[in-house]
């Protein structure tokens, strides 16, 4: 199963916004509304769920995090960037019973 | 408070079998709202889903690892295990135990263990 495609890096100034894309296919992102996003602040540290089912936020995640989807591409937007938002972000999509978790390639977000 | 704790050897020789255990506390592995599984991350690289198991015994694997991976659940010990056979250096990674919601936050991994680094080397 092929990984979903994300840009390697993205950046934004403190207080500004950054948007990360996640491109899949009609068999995963395009077919199901089960896209989730994860933040990993340090390599080797456990990721944290920030968006599920395309655009829903778990309890405790700031409303600065939002998600959307159009066709085969999902997006994560972080508004009002804060220093603690730096890290790697991974998307994930359900793609059927035998493909419960196709991850994206990951995007490193830098707050300038 | 849910806790997922991975344990197992940190060093495995090439061609041997990697074996890890995840001890679940704060929830029952019989909880039918979740899949329990494993993901991994080679140092400096991205995340990869290995597989997920349901309390009923159903197990789903990443097709790229299905010939080498075995995931099982021990409900009496509230533990999940992973065995990966014929390992090579490419299997060197942080291995994470995970809980994946299938009811409320559908197919989202809402909990992760702290991860354990397994190095494949002679």
Condensed to tens digits (0 to 9), the pLDDT of residues B22-39 reads 999 999 999 999 999 999
How far apart (Å, rounded) are the C-alpha atoms in residues B111 and B99?
5
Q: Is A61 on the interface with B (CB under 8 A)?
A: no
Interface test with A, best of B37, B46, B111, B115 (most A CBs within 10 A): B46
Q: How far apart are CA A73 and CA B63, in angstroms?
A: 23
pLDDT in tens, A14-30: 999 999 999 999 999 99
Distance to chain A for B98, nearest Cα, Å: 10
* A92 and B CB contact within 8 Å: yes
| B2 DSSP β-pair partners | none
Interface residue of A89, A100, A103 to substitute, partner B, most B CBs within 10 Å: A100
| CA–CA gap between residue A21 and residue A26 (Å, rounded) | 16
By C-alpha distance, the chain A residue nearest B47 is: A103
Q: Which of A46, A97, A100 sits opposite B113 (nearest CB)?
A: A46
Summarised one tens digit per residue, pLDDT across range B63-97 is 999 999 999 999 999 999 999 999 999 999 999 99
pLDDT of residue A1: 63
What are the φ and ψ backbone dihedral angles of A4, each rounded to 5 degrees? -75, 150
Q: Residue A99 above 90 pLDDT?
A: no
Give strand pairing partners of B83.
B19, B70
> Residue A22: what pLDDT?
98
Whether A38 sits inside 8 A of B37 (CB atoms) is: no
Q: Is there a contact between A44 and B94 if contact means CB atoms under 8 Å apart?
A: yes
Structure-block tokens of residue A112: 């300038």
Whether the per-residue pLDDT at A100 is higher than 80: the answer is: no
C-alpha to C-alpha distances, A109 to A39, A82, A102, nearest whole angstrom: 10, 11, 21
Contact of A91 with A74, CB cutoff 8 Å: yes
Residue B89: half-sphere exposure toward Cβ, Cα within 13 Å: 2
- Assign A86 a pLDDT band (cuts: 50, 70, 90): very high
Over the stretch B105-120, which tens digit does the pLDDT of each residue have? 888 999 999 999 999 9
For A8, name the nearest residue in chain B, comparing CA atoms only.
Answer: B46
- B109 min Cα distance to partner chain A (Å): 7
Across the interface, which of A38, A48, A53 has its CB nearest the CB of B105?
A: A53
Write out the two tokens for A107: 């995007």
Is A24 buried (19+), middle (13-18) or exposed (0-12) by CB count in 10 A? buried
For residue A31, list its beta bridge partners.
none
CB atoms A100 and B100 under 8 Å? yes
Residue A97 confidence (pLDDT): 74
pLDDT digits (tens, 9 = 90+) for A53-65: 999 999 999 999 9
């Amino acid at each position: 199963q092929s990984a979903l495609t994300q840009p390697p890096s993205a950046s934004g100034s403190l207080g500004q916004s950054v948007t990360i894309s996640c491109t899949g296919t009609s068999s995963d992102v395009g077919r199901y509304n089960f896209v989730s996003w994860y933040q990993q602040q340090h390599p080797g540290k456990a990721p944290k769920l920030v968006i599920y089912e395309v655009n829903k936020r778990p309890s405790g995640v700031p409303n600065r995090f939002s998600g959307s989807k159009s066709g085969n591409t999902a997006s994560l937007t972080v508004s009002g960037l804060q220093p603690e938002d730096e890290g790697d972000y991974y998307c994930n999509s359900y793609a059927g019973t035998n493909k419960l978790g196709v991850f994206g390639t990951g995007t490193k977000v830098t707050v300038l | 408070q849910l806790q997922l704790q991975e344990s197992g050897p940190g060093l495995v020789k090439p061609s041997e079998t990697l074996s890890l255990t995840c001890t679940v506390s704060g929830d029952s592995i019989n909880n039918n709202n979740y899949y329990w599984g494993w993901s991994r991350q080679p140092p400096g690289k991205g995340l990869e889903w290995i597989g997920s198991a349901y309390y009923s015994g159903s197990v789903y694997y990443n097709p790229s690892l299905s010939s080498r991976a075995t995931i099982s659940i021990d409900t009496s010990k509230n533990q999940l295990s992973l065995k990966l056979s014929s390992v090579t250096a490419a299997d060197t990674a942080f291995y994470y135990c995970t809980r994946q919601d299938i009811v409320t936050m559908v197919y989202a991994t809402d909990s992760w263990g702290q991860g354990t680094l397994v190095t494949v080397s002679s």
